[in-house]
Amino acid sequence: MTSPDTRIEPVTGERERLGLTPNLWRLAIVIGMAQFAMSIWTWRYAIFIEPILTGEYQMSLTFVAGTMAALIGYLASGMISDVIGRRKTMTVAFVPMILGLVLTFAIPVWPWLPFAYALISLGWSFILIISRAMPADIIAAEKSINPARKFTMVLMPAFFVDGVCPVTAGVLITLGLDPVYLMLFGAVGAMVAMAATPLVIKESLSVEIRTEAKQAGVVSIRGLGFNFWVLVAGMMPFYFTFGMAIQYLGPLCVNEWAVSDAVYGATWSAFSLTSVVVMHSASGIADRNKSRALLAAVVLNGVVYLLFSYGSGWLAMLLLNVFWAFPLMLWIGAERSLIVEGVGRERQGRALGTFQLLMSSTNLLAPVVGQAVYMASGSYRYLYGLSGVLNILTVTGVVAALRVRRPGATEGHP
């Protein structure tokens, strides 16, 4: 009888559907369950806590606590999963999520809210990295067959759930449900996903590779390779300018586009559901030329920001959200493929976690800069226009990074 730790995902001879092996489809379903645990409540979390956290800076401190916990998780999850395996790490990740959701449901007061939000963010950060590390394992074993498609398609159930949840939750609240029960629904969803993980997902990282990862210890800067750090340098300005405005999309749409909360939620659902429709074709385009796909995604995201700075009305918002899905799917597939390109299998989890840590660290400052721009201009439209222009300008740094990447450069051999 095969022990759980040695049930490794076969890498050849399995029929793929929409670019995913059976184990990756099982992973995708579990990620979708986990996404339900988040999407059912995150869309209106700020609205939920605003009347509770009346003290000065209490709301911002709550979000800072979540960001800091996520940054820790991004770094730790890659290292831990490289050593003990993806499946065990993902299973354990649901524990802080469940605790945080139950705590928010039971004691939604200061100072428990920031503590609970940090627990949720910590667990969710682990799941985000595992959702990237397991496809990376399969891609490396298959010698990078359609990497962008695997990285993107594994998120199909998650985007579908993210599209359905806000509408469903909004209907329930309209029918009289106390919004705090959304946290309880999330906790139940996380419990189901936690129970499903060890039952349906097979480990994608062999015992031999985990042993190599354990022996490698802490990976040095040189250990992730020249190409990895060049990509980090090229993408960080884009993440910063993108993060300046993204936090303020809701106020922009509701206040300056003059649409209702319900319409805003519906257009965001349209974005997520459109992502499900286009991700297969978009990931195929990304696989044909990852560098060009990433450059196109950077430019098109800037164009979307510029359009948000000028448009108005529900129809324009709906069409813009539908269009936005395509560059985002290009971005996901191309970027994640490039992150692990040339990184040894025993270090890919750490590479993905380190990249996410560094990119997310821009969120410690970017929203503050965005708020300063808004306070100086008095307009979210101006903020989105400025961020859009800066988004497009950052493509020069991405072009430079992609040009100096060295074909065949691997970890420790720049």
Rounded distance between C-alpha atoms, residue 414 and residue 213, angstroms: 20
Among 304, 308, 307, 301, smallest CA distance to 380 is for 308
Among 321, 323, 319, 305, smallest CA distance to 380 is for 305
Least-confidence region, from 8-22, 50-64, 165-179: 8-22
Q: CA dihedral in degrees (20, 25, 30, 35; nearest 10)?
A: 50
pLDDT tens, residue by residue, 84-136 = 888 888 899 999 999 999 999 999 888 898 899 999 999 999 988 888 777 77
**Apex CA 303: angle with CA 365 and CA 278, to 5°?**
100
- Identify the pLDDT of residue 45: 79
- Identify the pLDDT of residue 266: 82
pLDDT-derived band at 272 (thresholds 50, 70, 90) equals confident
- Identify the pLDDT of residue 412: 40
Q: How far apart are the first and last CA of the chain?
A: 43
**Mean pLDDT over residues 12-36, rounded?**
78
Rounded distance between C-alpha atoms, residue 197 and residue 189, angstroms: 12
Please, how many CA atoms are within 13 Å of residue 12, restricted to the half-sphere of its CB? 3
Pair 115, 197: CB distance under 8 Å: no
Q: In this predicted model, which residue has the larger pLDDT, 389 or 148?
A: 389
Q: Which residues of 144-172 are buried (b: 16+ CB within 10 A; e: fewer)?
A: eebbbbbbbbbbbbbbbbbbbbbbbbbeb
% of the chain surpassing 90 pLDDT: 26
Q: Which domains does the chain have, with CATH numbers?
A: 19-218 (1.20.1250.20), 220-414 (1.20.1250.20)
**Mean pLDDT over residues 289-302, rounded?**
92
Number of Cβ within 10 Å of residue 274's Cβ equals 21
Q: Give me the DSSP letters along 190-247.
A: HHHHHHHHHHHPPB-S-HHHHHHHHHH-SPPTGGG-HHHHHHHHHHHHHHHHHHHHHT
pLDDT tens, residue by residue, 148-185 = 777 778 888 888 998 888 888 878 887 888 888 999 99
pLDDT above 50: residue 12: no
Rounded distance between C-alpha atoms, residue 59 and residue 44, angstroms: 14
pLDDT above 50: residue 57: yes
pLDDT tens, residue by residue, 313-328 = 889 899 999 999 999 9
Number of Cβ within 10 Å of residue 217's Cβ equals 10
pLDDT-derived band at 19 (thresholds 50, 70, 90) equals confident
Could you say which DSSP state residue 14 is in?
Answer: P
Average pLDDT, the chain: 82
Q: Which residues contact 64 (CB under 8 A, 6 or more apart)?
A: 364
Amino acid at 372: A
Could you say which DSSP state residue 342 is in?
Answer: T
